[in-house]
Structure 1
């Protein structure tokens, strides 16, 4: 039987240093964006030796991707708050999709950072997948969704959300696109179009409340 092994002192110190670098990188990205980010400034703010940076990240871009991945994971986790545990699973899925798509309007700088990363699609999928799968499984178990292949459904929904964020940043959709998207997602999961639109509108009201 496998047992959890406590991290060694060295491993704990490495994790603390990595955490300092990530926090410093996040703060500097928020101040000046990626273009103005310098490794020396990151290490100075983190109080870490300049040469030590490369023990944790091969290049600046790797730290940026790690910061974005953490931010996306935190946002994804927030889409399934405890207070929504008793809510209609369809409403939860609608709200989660709207929260992500609204990034384009609420935090366009971060949204642009996400979509312009080399591995944007992989990062977005990895960060949102566990929470999206949980939300879909709840809906399936409750009889709200009819899904022939959950993996295909997740790939399609997550990929479409990222694509819509890109389109919104490019100004190709009118306000309210996130509501229409949430309704389309629910319809693809088995709700009739009218109910899908009603549930999406209810989720939008709850988010605003």
Structure 2
């Protein structure tokens, strides 16, 4: 993760990885065919951990639009708490993220319910997922260079909710609600060192 956060996944070679991990080339190839496969596995693990931390807090809320807002803010907050994690996630190529990818799957049911209940516009699911994921990833990227984070995150999430069809006042209200404080998973990548 350190290598990808500093050099970028595309510039990180197998030699860089085996030297940093202090393993042999054969050990690397036993598990991964290329650095890209390693980074994809690491991204999956990080996103699963973030989702496992955020999901219990999100599911305590009845309103699906509020769940989307809380989920977006929690993912942004959890990913950007650690510059190394944030730097790694924003340097990945997410262009091939499919509609059912791990980054997006957990919010699909909430978007669908919010559309059915009239909170969001009836837009294609792929577009709604793109709005949510790009709001989250774009915010994580922007926060890497900022000191004051709360106002930016709230404004970004409110903008994402507006793009989904919420009236401006309601979008801002949902984007500024108090957030629960999920605890890092014990032994997880996001746990404090």
| TM-score higher than 0.5 | yes
Q: Which residue of the other structure, out of 56, 67, 72, is the alignment partner of 1:97?
A: 72
Matches within 5 A, 1:31-70: 33-34=2-3, 38-39=17-18, 42=21, 51-70=26-45
CA contact (8 A) 1:121 1:159 kept: no
Does residue 206 of the first structure (1) align with residue 148 of the second (2)?
no
Structure 1 stretches of 5 or more lacking a match? Answer: 1-28
1:149 matched residue in structure 2: 124
CA contact (8 A) 2:158 2:171 kept: yes
CA apart distance, 1:198: 1.3
Structure index of larger Rg: 1
Q: What TM-score does the superposition give when structure 1 sets the normalisation length?
A: 0.66
Q: Which residue of the other structure, out of 30, 34, 50, is the alignment partner of 1:75?
A: 50
Structure 2 stretches of 5 or more lacking a match? Answer: 8-14, 183-193
**How many equivalent pairs are there?**
171
RMSD: 3.2
Partners of 2:115 and 2:172 in 1: CA distance = 19
Change beyond 3 A, Cα 1:199–1:82 = closer
CA apart distance, 1:158: 1.1
CA apart distance, 1:110: 0.6
Q: Which has the higher helix share?
A: 1
